Amino acid sequence: MKHPKTLSIAAAFLCAVLLCASCRGKEDLTSAVIFRCTIDGRIVAQGKSASGTSLENVVINLEFTGQIDASKLDRDKIWFSNFGDYSVSQANDFTLTLTLAGPLEEYSKYTVFITAGDYLGVHLLGDYSFGFVTGFDDSKDVFPRISTDDLLTKVQERTFAYFWDYAHPVSGLARERLNSGETVTTGGSGFGLMTIPVGIARGFITREEGAQRALKVVNFLCNNADRFHGVFPHWLNGSTGATMPFGTYDNGADLVETAFLMEGLLTLRAYFDGADATETAIRSGVTTLWEDVEWDWFTQGGQDVLYWHWSADYDWKINMKIKGWNEALIIYVLAASSPTHPITKDVYDKGWASGIKNGKKYYDITLSLGESHGGPMFFAHYSFLGLDPRNLSDTYANYWEQNVAHAKINHAYCAANPRGNYGYSDVCWGLTASDYWGGYIASSPTNDTGTIAPTAALASIPYTPEESLAAMEYFYYKLGKRLWGEYGFYDAFSLEHQWFARSYIAIDQGPIVCMIENYRSGLLWNTFMTDSDVRHGLDVLGFSY
């Protein structure tokens, strides 16, 4: 029997021989990495995916840093998820081409995995994966075709149901979003109140039903809801009326959300003009709420600007001025219209209007006001659900021209698709504030995540009727199985990221119903603009209308 030490030396010698043999084998292979992958001509980074590839004959080129030999491919080292066979060719000494003949599943994700090891005539360092999502097949309709008029009504009716059927059962106010429980939104409720006349005009509900719901809401706001100098918070508890904080310091008055609510309430006051007890009570309650708002107090003691927030706990801590071009024109119009606590024209000119001019061209379209490319589309919606832009102008802009330009630029950007987001086109467009695949965002041409929100195009229909109708038809007939639900179109989607929301948000739902109706009949514009207080405020600010 050999001595253990002798055995150990022998074993060590054998290991050294084997290791040297292995080293000689490795020395014969050049180490390499994959430095580029293209799928159907698009460069795809390691661990990422290309969108919108073909359903057949998907071509993947893998480019290596060392010379390869396709004849030495080990198919156990390169494989696909969700798919089996693929063909191989070698375009040059450094490029391996993989082709999936298909047919592949529509709008589905596939991934190619490349494992480190000794094959292809090289020693491949590291593992790789590259994905792709096949294109969305929009060649066929998913729902039967109906007339344009019927489709408009269908979209309005289904979206109206969010405010009618899903309203909070105690207060009648609009829930912030689907599944938000007790949280109701003041601004979104203003938009929802404006859908009541639409529902009556379109036969979704009776006038008596609409009046009863309106009075329920008005009574709750008068008797239960928190107010601060007459101003409502952003969110309320739908059962108790108590403030629900919107943020750390935002647990008090929100002047912008209150203005959206007042826009809806004043529309109801003008619409429900009957002599019966219910309609008389609506007008009386709205007047009380309207005259209680201390607009001038939100100048912080006489400054030439309005402030957005105030809190009994944090005072003016947020200190956000309402100025520049955004969704808030209606705030200044209503503040000037107040019969009890009005602002002066100087507050409008020196606060709101300071620095709002633009005048540049985007896609050969001149934009009078606001940020580059117009910003998110809700700038052209929220103030103008009631405020009629058709003949509205002052020293700063013609507001019809401003909103038309804004919508056309938004459409042109999506049609041009400079960032290459899959799915964007002249019929699939619309960037605004909405949910997106990463949370919530205010999308615009300068802040584009590949997310389309139906409300952006649909609520722009008075400004861009052809483009908006084309988008409506595409959303319904082509994307409808994924995008159409209980309360109309879901909030947003991204074909680029293979994501469809399952959410509804009040401030996105309301403009769809209201602006479609303004396009069809002008109902809300005509109603709101009859208010004598509003007309007085417009006169004070120097508007023509």
How far is Cα 380 from Cα 374, in angstroms, rounded to an integer?
A: 9
Confidence of residue 6 (pLDDT cuts 50, 70, 90): very low
Does 290 lie in the same domain as 338? Answer: yes
Quote the pLDDT of residue 102: 82
Instruction: Say what percent of the chain tops pLDDT 70.
Output: 95
Q: What dihedral angle (degrees, nearest 10) is formed by the CA atoms of 430, 437, 503, 474?
A: 40
Q: What is the DSSP-derived secondary structure letter of residue 342?
A: P
Higher pLDDT, 509 or 2: 509
Q: Are residues 447 and 498 in the same domain?
A: yes
Q: What is the pLDDT of residue 222?
A: 98
- Reported as a pLDDT band with limits 50, 70 and 90, residue 74 is very high
Residue 222 domain-assigned?
yes
End-to-end Cα separation, the chain, in angstroms: 112
Domain boundary among 112, 134, 156: 134
Task: Write the single-letter amino acid at 250.
Answer: D
What integer pLDDT is reported at residue 20 of this predicted model? Answer: 38
Contact, 259 vs 330, CB < 8 A? yes
Question: pLDDT tens for residues 10-53?
Answer: 343 333 333 333 443 445 799 999 999 999 999 999 999 999 99
Q: Which domain holds residue 61?
A: 28-134
Q: Is 28 exposed, middle or buried (0-12, 13-18, 19+ CB in 10 A)?
A: exposed
d(CA 504, CA 477): 20
6 within domain boundaries: no
Tell me, yes or no, whether 47 and 191 share the same domain.
no
Q: What span, in angstroms and rounded, lies between the C-alpha atoms of 318 and 523?
A: 37
Same-domain check for residues 69 and 91: yes
pLDDT at position 86 over 80: yes
CA distances 404 to 331, 366, 464, 495, Å, are 21, 10, 7, 27
CB 413 within 8 A of CB 403: no
Average pLDDT over residues 197-216: 98
Please, which pLDDT band fits residue 83 given cuts at 50, 70 and 90?
A: confident
The pair of three-digit structure tokens given for residue 254, joined into one six-digit string: 């929100």
Judge whether residue 9 has pLDDT over 50.
no
pLDDT band at residue 298 under the 50/70/90 scheme = very high
Contacts of 362 (CB under 8 A, 6+ apart): 372, 373, 374, 409, 412, 413, 445
Q: Would you state the pLDDT for residue 84?
A: 74
Q: Within this chain, do residues 158 and 123 fall inside the same structural domain, yes or no? A: no
Residues 257 and 325 in one domain: yes
Burial tier of 282 (Cβ tally within 10 Å: 0-12, 13-18, 19+): buried
Same domain flag for 445 and 420: yes
Kindly state whether residue 32 falls inside one of the protein's structural domains: yes
From 338, 345, 392, 335, select the one nearest 369 (Cα to Cα). Answer: 392
178/261 same-domain check: yes
Region 293-316 average pLDDT: 97
Flag whether 437 is in a domain: yes
Nearest to 348 by CA among 178, 539, 532: 539
pLDDT at 107 over 60: yes
By C-alpha distance, which of 244, 190, 250, 252 is closest to 221? Answer: 190
Residue recorded with tokens 């290596």: 64
SS3 of residue 13 by DSSP: helix
Query: Which residue's entry shows tokens 């595409």?
Result: 474
Does one domain contain both 221 and 128? no
Joined together, the tokens standing for residue 478 give: 């082509």
187 and 129 share one domain: no
Q: What is the pLDDT of residues 142-194, one digit of tens each?
A: 999 999 999 999 999 999 999 999 999 999 999 999 999 999 999 999 999 99
Mean pLDDT of 491-507: 97
pLDDT at 446 over 60: yes
Judge whether 507 lies within some domain: yes
Number of domains in the chain: 2
The reply to whether 382 and 506 lie within a common domain is yes
Closest among 71, 76, 77, 59 to 124, alpha carbons compared = 77
Is 352 inside any structural domain? yes
What is the predicted pLDDT for the residue at 28? 78
Last residue of a domain, one of 134, 158, 180: 134
**pTM for this model (two decimals):** 0.91
| Res 12: pLDDT | 39
How is residue 166 written in tokens? 């899903």
431 in Cβ contact with 381 (< 8 Å) = no
4 located within any domain = no
Question: Residue 125's domain is classified under what CATH number?
Answer: 2.60.40.3710
**Which of 106, 134, 162 is where one domain is finished?**
134
Same domain, 125 and 159: no
In a domain, 459, yes or no: yes
* 301 pLDDT higher than 80: yes
Q: What is the CATH number of the domain that holds 345?
A: 1.50.10.140
pLDDT score, position 22: 40
Higher pLDDT, 397 or 21: 397
The two three-digit tokens of residue 391, written as one number: 């003949």
Structure tokens at 324: 């520049």
